[in-house]
Structure 1
Amino acid sequence: MDRKALAAAFPATLPVLLGYLAIGIAFGLMLEAIGYNFIWAFFMSLTVYAGSGQYLGVSLLAASAALGEVALMTLLINFRHLVYGLSMLEKFRGMGIRKLYMIFSLTDETYALLASAQAPVGVDPHNYYFSIAILDHCYWVVGSIIGGMLGAALPINTQGIDFAMTALFVVIAVDQWKSYKSHLPALIGAGAALLFLLLIGQEQMLLPALGVIVAALLALRDRLDEKPEQQREVKA
């Protein structure tokens, strides 16, 4: 591990540290509440590491869901990661075997950091990206363990605690809105989601909405890739 890259990446991951400890603890509490202790929380966070997918996993375990149902629900809830992966092709190019881990570790929060990440001067970019992914993963695992241990030691009511994941998504969305001058991608995403929510309801909206979002972003790729100077020249 490149210590220089790790030290440079840590400040950038502080918002995720705070968020992942909170929602990781919530996940550990929920898992403990259905009879799975912190050891299960550790291994699930280490090997699955799916954020909202793990929250769903708690409900599926509690309901003794069939393997086919688990596979389908996981695909639906994590389908958005196909879009994440496509947009990271250039950043992950040349990372060798580490590319496999980068693909595995591409959660919503890690993607949000990597999408705008620029390695400091003197730090290898690939080592910097890898350090961000490793740190975020560690935060989630530690939070899950703490939650599982707290759930075993204290009588905690976990009703409604899964809203912690929704709250973190909102924080990330607000941060991304403030960070980028162009709000077109966010507006496309919100518009497509709202449209299909009204047309076909929340149970079936995800895949059609994501399909429309991907198509729209691909169609507008040249415009979105333009630098501010180029956009001003076009307007002039």
Structure 2
Amino acid sequence: MLEHYLSVFCGGNALKQVTTEPRWKETFKVAWPLCLSYTPIGIACGILLHAAGFNSILAGLASVMIFSGGAQFLIAQMLTVNAPILTIILMLFFLELRYALLGSSLSKYLQGENHRFIFTFALSLNDENYAVNYLKFATDKNWSPKDALQVEHWSLLFWSVSNVIGSLIGSALKINLEVVDFALTALFIYMIVMQVRSRLSLIICIFSGALAAFCLIITKSTLGLVASTLIASFTGYAIERYLTKHKPNSGLLNDLGAAGTSGPVVEPLEKKDESDSIL
């Protein structure tokens, strides 16, 4: 009876306010598409990690401690070619450096949180949940750091479970390591193609490939990959910074699909700030 009068006097909105869903359900609805997409990739990653010598426990620990598909696939590939541990650590370090930039862009939304919370938040941050949380922070005023942390933990849970399941499947299957090399090479080629937007990025991509081959021949070890990665990254950054500052209309900054009339892919910092404020 009380619910009836509340719905009459408040236009039905009172019941919505009283019977709100738990917050974990709200965050799960936000993270659900991300978790669903993690399942097949996580299973594939677990299978490849098992083929590289990881048992189910180690695969689960790797997924929790690293929580990066690209890094875990890289580990599997480098272990199959017997790369030194130091080389693997260095490659992972430079590969994961991007999280310093991603985390810094979220720092303004985490103001007031203690160091323990920020440390936990940083441990479970990756590319996909960063994109989801950044969009929610920018568009939803009620989105809190705790909600963002729950999204990270939902994605981490699904990724870790998928890795363990993949490792268990891999233990029941006999996988040829040559197939693993082919699959990982195809995966990284796909990742490169998806990131190549401007003509400059394509040139740097070709330059880095040639430089990697040269460094591997000179050093005769996988440390050549580390050296070529650093040289190509700093070269691309320096050229892009110079062109953006001094020659913003350069054709090297244009989209690969542009016919010469469209603007550069790299926008000035002022435009980015305006777009962020609009969101």
TM-score bracket, normalised by the shorter chain, equals 0.7 to 0.9
| Aligned-residue CA RMSD (Å) | 3.5
| Deviations, residues 81-115 of structure 1 (Å, cap 9, x unaligned) | 22212211112222322211221222111122122
- 2: distance between equivalents of 1:44 and 1:229? 37
Unaligned runs of 5+ in 1: 174-185, 231-236
2:29 counterpart residue number: 11
- 1: distance between equivalents of 2:170 and 2:84? 26
Deviation, structure 1 residue 137: 0.7
Contact 1:60–1:70 at 8 Å: present in 2 too?
yes
Pairing 1:45–2:53 present: no
- 2: distance between equivalents of 1:82 and 1:208? 20
Q: List aligned pairs for 1:63-102, cutoff 5 A.
A: 63-96=81-114, 97-102=116-121
Q: List aligned pairs for 1:92-131, cutoff 5 A.
A: 92-96=110-114, 97-118=116-137, 125-131=144-150
Tell me: CA distance 1:52–1:213, structure 2 relative to 1, closer, same or farther (3 Å): farther
Deviation, structure 1 residue 139: 1.2
Q: Which moved more, 1:117-126 or 1:46-55?
A: 117-126
Deviation, structure 1 residue 73: 0.9
Deviation, structure 1 residue 72: 1.7
Letter in structure 1 aligned against 2:163: S
- 2: distance between equivalents of 1:20 and 1:165? 17
Contact 2:44–2:166 at 8 Å: present in 1 too?
yes
Letter in structure 2 aligned against 1:220: P
Letter in structure 2 aligned against 1:201: G
- 2: distance between equivalents of 1:213 and 1:98? 36
Deviation, structure 1 residue 79: 2.5
The TM-score, its normalising length taken from structure 1, stands at 0.73
Pairing 1:153–2:172 present: yes
- 2: distance between equivalents of 1:212 and 1:86? 24
Tell me: CA distance 1:43–1:199, structure 2 relative to 1, closer, same or farther (3 Å): closer
Contact 2:63–2:163 at 8 Å: present in 1 too?
yes
Tell me: CA distance 1:116–1:142, structure 2 relative to 1, closer, same or farther (3 Å): same
- 1: distance between equivalents of 2:159 and 2:277? 40
Tell me: CA distance 1:121–1:222, structure 2 relative to 1, closer, same or farther (3 Å): closer
Q: List aligned pairs for 1:214-229, cutoff 5 A.
A: 220-227=268-275
Pairing 1:134–2:150 present: no
Tell me: CA distance 1:166–1:8, structure 2 relative to 1, closer, same or farther (3 Å): farther
Contact 2:138–2:276 at 8 Å: present in 1 too?
no
- 1: distance between equivalents of 2:88 and 2:24? 36
1:30 counterpart residue number: 48
Tell me: CA distance 1:135–1:58, structure 2 relative to 1, closer, same or farther (3 Å): same
| Deviations, residues 5-28 of structure 1 (Å, cap 9, x unaligned) | 321121222222122111111111
| Deviations, residues 167-209 of structure 1 (Å, cap 9, x unaligned) | 6898xx7xxxxxxxxxxxx89x645422312444374334544
Deviation, structure 1 residue 39: 1.2
Contact 1:26–1:164 at 8 Å: present in 2 too?
no
2:209 counterpart residue number: 201
Letter in structure 1 aligned against 2:52: I
Q: For 2:54, what is the secondary structure of its paired residue?
A: coil
Give the aligned length.
213
Rg (Cα) greater in structure: 2
Contact 2:133–2:148 at 8 Å: present in 1 too?
yes
Deviation, structure 1 residue 152: 1.1
1:233 counterpart residue number: none
Which residue of the other structure, out of 42, 49, 55, is the alignment partner of 2:73?
55
Contact 2:31–2:151 at 8 Å: present in 1 too?
yes
The TM-score, its normalising length taken from structure 2, stands at 0.63
Q: For 2:125, what is the secondary structure of its paired residue?
A: coil
- Provide the identity percentage: 23
